[in-house]
Structure 1
């Protein structure tokens, strides 16, 4: 059985809901919460759980399947693809974190040298 999704959506995020759902599914896969072969909730289960339309979930699953992130079979459901290149998802996840960190550092007025020093510190 799949783990509860625990999705969190921002009211200020301007992206379509299906893209936000896709991002959060990819994030769970990238960090290892949903390893290969993990069954995803059915379209209806997820729609009820996160209070969005079935059409929105279907769109997210369709796009994820097109990208090769998940596999969907009629009557059998959807699951995390076992031939997924985890490095690609992890790289995407890292880039999102770095983008957020960069924006925050800029708003704090931190010099580039200090940011690089902090990054090196966390990599040790």
Structure 2
């Protein structure tokens, strides 16, 4: 598993670690039940503090992506993909609600809003 840290990024290192591990899980590179490196091993390979990796792993565990078993290590959780997709959908809905409120108050019609969303979505 390769994790890349950018010391000049605005995102904290623990978030960089957790988001990259989430991506590896979501795209299938890490499978349910598969072990991930121990906190110490990850810290050593990235040349960072054990506490930083601990924070990343805690975040992953809180979000349901990994499970920690005392004395055995950390493993990819079984129900992570559905949970993650649901969480992402909630975030998108919040942003859409804000965009709809702005559009309505500005008099922008639904077809214009849909066209803008399509354009932005297909842009990259």
TM-score, length of structure 1 as denominator length? 0.66
Aligned residues: 98
CA-based RMSD of the aligned residues comes to 2.9
Shift of 1:14: 1.4
Preserved CA contact (<8 Å) 2:33 2:77 = yes
Distance in structure 2 (CA, Å) of the matches to 1:87 and 1:73: 20
Q: Of the two, which has the highest radius of gyration?
A: 2
Check 1:118–1:73 CA distance in 2 against 1; reply closer, same or farther (3 A cut): closer
Pair 1:6-2:9 in alignment: no
**Unpaired runs of 5+ in structure 1?**
96-111
What are the equivalent positions in structure 2 for 1:1-124 lying under 5 Å apart? 5-86=1-82, 88-89=84-85, 116=119, 119=122
Tell me what 1:104 maps to.
Answer: none
Q: Deviations over 1:6-37 (max 9, x none)?
A: 21122331122111100110011111110111
Q: Deviations over 1:48-97 (max 9, x none)?
A: 111111111111111111111100011110010012234735995xx9xx
Instruction: Determine which structure has the larger helix proportion and give its number.
Output: 2
TM-score, length of structure 2 as denominator length? 0.66
